[in-house]
Amino acid sequence: MDRRKRAAEQLPPMELAIMHVLWDNGPSTVQAVQARLDGNPAYTTVQTILNTMEKKGRTKRKLDGKAYVYQAVLARDKALGNAVRDLIQRTFQGSVEGLLMNLVRTEQIDEATLQRLERLLAEERPAQ
């Protein structure tokens, strides 16, 4: 995948914040999304971003009375997977091990979490 396509899949910070609201709360009006965002963004700002996201195919909208209700089309796993891949590529030169070792060295992951991850990985691996 070329660099421009990866960048196009990457969600800007405000779009990501809006997607989290939609993923966590389900279909929502502009007003409901605005109320759940940090920083008190203007209604018109949220509305413009939601409309842009709809044009990009990241959300869809349906008229309910006088207000549009927006719903996430982009799956959380796909969006977050793209963000993590981008972080690993840009910051750790493509090394997943580099990311994990940084988390351990900077004490952002503890022994209990590592053990839990090992169990989860063992469950995900196909039986041999």
Q: Per-domain residue ranges for the chain?
A: 3-72, 95-128
Structure-token pair, residue 77: 């796993």
| 19 in Cβ contact with 79 (< 8 Å) | yes
**pLDDT confidence of residue 124:** 85
| 19 in Cβ contact with 76 (< 8 Å) | yes
Which pTM was predicted? 0.78
**pLDDT confidence of residue 4:** 42
Alpha helices in 1-128 (DSSP H): 3-9, 13-25, 30-36, 43-55, 76-92, 96-105, 111-124
pLDDT tens-place values along the chain, 128 residues long: 444 444 457 899 999 999 999 999 999 999 999 999 999 999 999 999 999 999 999 999 999 999 999 999 999 999 999 999 999 999 999 999 999 899 989 989 988 998 998 899 899 887 65
Domain 3-72: CATH class, spelled out: mainly alpha
**pLDDT confidence of residue 51:** 97
**pLDDT confidence of residue 125:** 81
**pLDDT confidence of residue 91:** 94
